[in-house]
Amino acid sequence: MKARVHVMLKSGVLDPQGEAVRHALGQLGFDGVEGVRQGKVIELDLAETDAEQARATVTEMCEKLLANTVIESYSVEIA
């Protein structure tokens, strides 16, 4: 079973990497970009065969390691 975790900074948290990308896009002539938020995607291959158990396990992984829940939010996809 595969899991995909999307991690993004929470709204209101300064995103310097996103701002750097927005600025660079402007320098390249893409003037219509008003904001960029940069995040990360983590893909996991799991031995688990039960989707609900896999979601629970990946959520626990996010809470303990994969996301800094003070400043980041995450979503989990199971396939």
Q: What is the structure's pLDDT at 62? A: 98
62 to 3, 12, 40, 43: CA distances (angstroms)? 12, 21, 12, 12
Query: Which CATH superfamily includes the segment(s) 2-78?
Result: Phosphoribosylformylglycinamidine synthase subunit PurS (3.30.1280.10)
Residue 10: partners with Cβ closer than 8 Å, 6 or more residues away? 71, 72, 73
- pLDDT-derived band at 79 (thresholds 50, 70, 90) equals very high
68 to 4, 16, 33, 72: CA distances (angstroms)? 17, 17, 27, 5
Domain boundaries of the chain, sorted by first residue: 2-78
pLDDT tens for each residue of 28-73? 999 999 999 999 999 999 999 999 999 999 999 999 999 999 999 9
